[in-house]
């Protein structure tokens, strides 16, 4: 029996496993990096062991350090979670060699399925359809488009779609670099890219006595950068295709003597053909949707199977429908740029259960963040998984969209508006959920968010609430309305920045209350430092205002708006030179491909920043000359730091003409 379990992971992953351990009476041990010293998963565990350092390579990916932590804390078993070392055969062997119980499949099974190239050979030999592997050196125009994939990992890392033969070499090189950074293995391969397929995965449970369950399937086709953002169970495939996928998944498990929980992933075409993609030899991020519709606790079954227990009977049939949305700290409008910094407020309304199946239809929340959590550049930017379980698909989608739209998320920019737009999109609701969904509907979902009117009303509410806050803090005459004058005078003004837009708010304080100069049709019903009620066209709505350093967050039934107060006076020394390229997020300079003095063209890559396990290209904004290169490979940079300066060609031409003879 397992009595004390170390979870070799962090965040919501560790918290999810701890929840089941508490229910089963198993002690828990957390590990943590230095940035995670005060993280929720650390305080939730019975014991915690520090892994000195910050970067994953120095902490959560250190096999020796994690095994030593388990022994030091008196653990008798190790659960890898998902991500980090969860599919590392060397880690599994080290755990077993240390005399500890490994909660997962055998190292041999992990090894076979860990290489996408080798796994496809094994699976094909078992009679399961696969997409042929293509040698990058032999690809012709007739093979395009192709997908370059990392052999040793997933999650969208090390993956590139190539549509032009001339782009292949650069794509392979970039994929190799990203794969080496993320997985320690730069091996990549190519396969035919199917533009319009469905990503369907089968959850499996296999015990050590020869029984294999196909525990339902999940639809995971809504993806960005080949990484899932919305998942659901059951999928929309027909019953015949479902049975064929279940049979194929069991065949894969038997081919590698699989034991434990795992996921077999397939690409399914509209005519019902399917192709094996990969097997994840671990629990999946999206496992909560399967738990909701089956009532199973998959973590509990992982632990039972590791203890030698047998599966009995048949897997339960699904009840209702569940949909999960991954809430990320990232900006879809800015090429999915990840965010970091303080998450000041995080609250999802009407949550019925956390890390477990609700007792009835409702919203489940699996999250590793709380108010004040620092979103680190070192780790994946996922903040939470919000799951809705309803009697049918439409009910679940409506419930989930409502929960996300009403959530208070104050801090780094998130993909919340995109998720709501997807869940309310008519094509999604009709079941048209193919892997190219975000590409086909980019004009609607990538730009989703409050419109200009809502932003301006939110800015007005922010200005009035700020003024009320200032008056409440005033040492004298605090009861007077802000800006009140006994004689006519100029209006009060306040400026905020929303994205690239500056919003100037003008209002007057009158005997009957504040009046907007810019929105005469709006009536200010009431004002407090935390809430402003505005009436527009006969409809009253509350605007909730929260203030933090450099941020004013406004939440209303019309949408959430983040505003940055603009100071009345700016520091001239803060002005950047023309053509300066600044870091869009904190990170490490992974590669630099230009030197000072080089001529560059608009869009040409200059360097790559590595942040949150992904590489982000920094390109020249215009034709010109690199007049300054401020960083070198390996340098750590903060958000806003100058990386390089590209002087436009027109400017350099003028300077050359003016140079004295």
Query: 10 Å Cβ neighbour count for 471?
Result: 18
Query: 10 Å Cβ neighbour count for 300?
Result: 15
**Predicted local distance difference test score (pLDDT) of residue 509:** 84
Output the domain CATH number for residue 267.
Answer: 3.30.470.20
Query: 10 Å Cβ neighbour count for 308?
Result: 11
Residues above pLDDT 90, as percent of the chain: 71
Write down which residue in 256, 290, 317 finishes a domain.
317
Active-site choice (282, 456, 471, 547): 282
pLDDT (average), residues 488-502: 87
| Cα 205 to Cα 290: distance, rounded to the nearest angstrom | 12
Quickly state the pLDDT bin for 199 (edges 50, 70, 90). Answer: very high
**Predicted local distance difference test score (pLDDT) of residue 66:** 98
pLDDT at 651 over 60: no
pLDDT digits (tens, 9 = 90+) for 626-635: 999 988 888 8
Same domain for 498 and 481: yes
pLDDT (average), residues 118-132: 94
Query: Diameter of the chain by CA atoms?
Result: 92
Output the domain CATH number for residue 168.
Answer: 3.30.1490.20
**Predicted local distance difference test score (pLDDT) of residue 252:** 97
Same domain for 201 and 171: no
Quickly state the pLDDT bin for 652 (edges 50, 70, 90). Answer: low
Same domain for 459 and 491: yes
Q: What is the DSSP letter of 130?
A: B
Same domain for 203 and 141: no
> Which of 166 and 68 is assigned the larger pLDDT?
68
Output the domain CATH number for residue 531.
Answer: 3.30.700
Contacts of residue 355, defined as CB under 8 A and 6 or more positions apart, other chains included, come to 12, 15, 16, 19, 364, 365, 366
pLDDT at 249 over 90: yes
Catalytic-residue membership of 282: yes
pLDDT (average), residues 391-405: 98
- Establish if 277 belongs to a structural domain: yes
**Predicted local distance difference test score (pLDDT) of residue 658:** 55
| Cα 196 to Cα 433: distance, rounded to the nearest angstrom | 10
**Predicted local distance difference test score (pLDDT) of residue 82:** 93
pLDDT digits (tens, 9 = 90+) for 503-534: 999 999 888 889 999 999 999 999 999 999 99
Same domain for 585 and 508: no
pLDDT (average), residues 381-393: 97
> Which of 393 and 159 is assigned the larger pLDDT?
393
Mean pLDDT is lowest, of 131-135, 291-295, 309-313, for 131-135
| Cα 584 to Cα 125: distance, rounded to the nearest angstrom | 47
Question: Which pair of structure tokens corresponds to residue 73?
Answer: 């804390």
**Predicted local distance difference test score (pLDDT) of residue 395:** 98
In terms of pTM, does the model score above 0.85? yes
Domain extent for 151? 132-192
Same domain for 280 and 200: yes
| Cα 324 to Cα 386: distance, rounded to the nearest angstrom | 6
Contacts of residue 451, defined as CB under 8 A and 6 or more positions apart, other chains included, come to none
- Establish if 624 belongs to a structural domain: yes
- Look at the chain and report how many structural domains it folds into: 6
Output the domain CATH number for residue 592.
Answer: 2.40.50.100
């Amino acid at each position: 029996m397992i009595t004390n379990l170390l979870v070799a992971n962090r965040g919501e992953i560790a918290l999810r496993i701890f929840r089941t351990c508490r229910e089963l009476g198993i002690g828990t041990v957390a590990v943590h990096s230095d940035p995670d010293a005060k993280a929720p998963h650390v305080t939730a565990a019975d014991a915690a062991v520090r892994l000195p350092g910050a970067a994953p390579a120095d902490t959560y990916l250190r096999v020796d350090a994690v095994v030593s932590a388990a022994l030091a804390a008196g653990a008798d078993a190790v659960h890898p979670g998902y991500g980090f070392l969860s599919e590392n055969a060397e880690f599994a062997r080290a755990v077993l060699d240390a005399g500890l119980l490994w909660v997962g499949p055998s190292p041999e099974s992990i090894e076979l399925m860990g290489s996408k190239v080798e796994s496809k050979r094994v699976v094909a030999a078992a009679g399961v359809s696969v997409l042929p592997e293509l040698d990058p050196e032999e690809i012709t125009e007739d093979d395009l488009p192709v997908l370059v994939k990392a052999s040793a990992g997933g999650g969208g890392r090390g993956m590139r779609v190539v549509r032009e033969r001339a782009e292949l070499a650069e794509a392979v090189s970039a994929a190799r670099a990203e794969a080496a950074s993320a997985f320690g293995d730069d091996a990549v391969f190519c396969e035919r890219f199917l533009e319009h397929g469905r990503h369907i995965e089968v959850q499996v449970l296999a015990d050590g006595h020869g029984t294999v369950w196909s525990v339902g399937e999940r639809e995971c086709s809504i993806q960005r950068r080949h990484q899932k953002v919305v998942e659901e169970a059951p999928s929309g495939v027909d019953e015949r295709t479902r049975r064929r996928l279940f049979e194929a998944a069991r065949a894969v498990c038997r081919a590698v003597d699989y034991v434990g929980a795992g996921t077999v992933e397939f690409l399914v075409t509209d005519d019902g053909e399917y192709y094996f993609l990969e097997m994840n030899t671990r629990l999946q991020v999206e496992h909560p949707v399967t738990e909701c519709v089956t009532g199973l606790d998959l973590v509990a079954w992982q632990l039972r199977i590791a203890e030698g227990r047998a599966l009995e009977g048949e897997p339960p049939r699904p009840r209702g429908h569940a949909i999960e949305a991954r809430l990320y700290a990232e900006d879809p409008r800015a090429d999915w740029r990840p965010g970091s910094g303080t998450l000041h407020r995080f609250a999802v309304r009407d949550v019925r259960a956390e890390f477990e199946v609700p007792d009835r239809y409702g919203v489940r929340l699996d999250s590793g963040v709380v108010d004040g959590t620092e979103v680190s550049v070192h780790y994946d930017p996922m903040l939470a998984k919000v799951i809705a379980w309803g009697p049918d698909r439409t009910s679940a989608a409506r419930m989930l969209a409502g929960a996300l739209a009403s959530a208070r998320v104050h801090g780094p920019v998130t993909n919340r508006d995109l998720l709501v737009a997807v869940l309310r999109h008519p094509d999604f609701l009709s079941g048209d959920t193919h892997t190219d969904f975000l590409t086909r509907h980019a004009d609607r979902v990538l730009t989703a968010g409050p419109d200009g009117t809502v932003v301006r009303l939110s800015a007005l509410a922010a200005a009035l609430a700020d003024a009320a806050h200032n008056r409440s803090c005033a040492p004298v005459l605090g009861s007077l309305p802000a800006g009140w004058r006994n004689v006519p005078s100029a209006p009060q003004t306040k400026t905020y920045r929303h994205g690239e837009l500056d919003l100037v708010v003008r209002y007057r304080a009158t005997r009957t209350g504040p009046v907007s100069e810019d929105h005469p049709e709006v009536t200010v019903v009431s004002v407090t430092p935390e809430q402003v009620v505005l009436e527009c066209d006969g409809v009253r709505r509350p605007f909730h205002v929260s203030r933090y350093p450099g941020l004013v967050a406004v939440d209303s039934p019309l949408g959430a708006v983040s505003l940055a107060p603009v100071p009345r006076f700016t520091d001239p020394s803060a002005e950047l030179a023309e053509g300066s390229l600044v870091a869009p997020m904190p990170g490490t300079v992974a590669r630099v491909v230009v030197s000072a003095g080089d001529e560059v063209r608009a869009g040409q890559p200059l360097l790559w920043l590595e942040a949150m396990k992904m590489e982000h290209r920094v390109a020249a904004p215009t034709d010109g000359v690199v007049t300054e290169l401020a960083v070198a490979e390996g340098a750590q940079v903060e958000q806003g730091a100058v990386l390089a300066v590209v002087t436009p060609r027109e400017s350099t031409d003028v300077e050359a003409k003016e140079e004295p003879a």
